[in-house]
Structure 1
Amino acid sequence: MASVMQMLIGKRLSPEEQVKKWRQTVRAQERELEKSMRGIDAEEAKVKRALKQAAKRNDTTSCKLLAKEIVRSRKARDRLYTSKAQLNSLTMHMQQQLATMKISGTLQKSTDVMKLVNNLVKLPEISSIMSEMGAEMMKAGIIEEMMQDSIEMGDEEGIEEEAEDEVSKVLFELTDGMLGEAPGAVGAPLEDQQPQAQEEDLESMAARLSALRA
């Protein structure tokens, strides 16, 4: 009966085991971010090919739509790279915790760990896992507090302010200067040049890329 109760309650981890568990969790989240980045890269490559084909048809409306998706995906990928670097830094701090614990016998409070965890909690892709880890670290006495507003929504809201310049650069880059150099080069709608089926394909492609960022 005692063994059954232990299974139900769960084994209480030692501080060393707890730190090792956190390190394993961090490494797992790094792999998840790498997977997300590969997915964005693969879908973006398809969008780039579609944009170049649209440019050959002089379909500037589709070009601008796809260029906006590329701008958004690049921002999302940059955000994931930054978060992966922070996860790597967190792993090193956990290694330091293990080294310190072997000397002092206890886990040490760390403002650096607290800052990293609070930053990583803001990332939607790993927010729930980092919140759980942060709560465990609070109980262990490593960090003092967690941020309440865990999800940042600033990327999508701020994209429109700088979208035109970024979109223009992407268009100029991917069309070898055919589009994007002049401010009004991509502004005129050309729906008549685009069949309905093709429009649906482009919207589907944009939706897939958007889903990978979410």
Structure 2
Amino acid sequence: MRLRYIHGQYEFLQNHEKAITEPEKRGYKLNDAFNNNNPIHVELGCGKGKFLRETALKNPDINYFGFEKSVKVAYRCAKSVFENDPDNYFVVYSNGDILKEVFEPKSIDRIYLNFSDPWPKPSHYKRRLTHKSFLEVYKIVLVDDGEIHMKTDNNDLFEYSLSQFEEDNWELLMVTRDLHNSPYKQDNVMTEYEERFVQEGKKINKLIARQKYE
């Protein structure tokens, strides 16, 4: 379902205490957004924020940034902030490919890729968030033992991502093609999409990858 444009949604994000808009245009380093040295986790494509908020609630000693490139979706995420919302996250209205511009090198402990756009046409593969060009960016901003956690219902994207990680010298710490019928289901926080897919009986793929060092 296509979201309806609402007048003033960008201005709403600009003035919202939980939102950061286009930090790359202001030369702003997101490492400075919190006044602490807690680990940083980043979700690329946070949608309406269910996973972001629930994970932040469970882990108050971790700083979270949820990137969302759609102003319509980012607006709805910020609009749905509730009373007693956790204070250890921000919604970032921007593309995930600007990570190296807005984070210091070796400063992110974990990146989440939850149900990213599969870009099914081969001519669009370079837009996939596990394409080698994105993996190079992740290498710059992740700490040496930093991890990428990926979930998707799209089998083609998952197999493609596995091959990209292997070819680019990443260690696969965990791989499952049926998350909700696996031991890894414990402590799993579902996204909005994931809840719907599970109700429809779809299997969820998940992997955890870490860069190898000689």
TM-score, length-scaled by structure 1: 0.23
Hey, which of these two has a bigger chunk of helix by percent?
1
TM-score, length-scaled by structure 2: 0.23
- Of structures 1 and 2, the one with the larger relative CO (CA 8 A, separation 6+) is 1
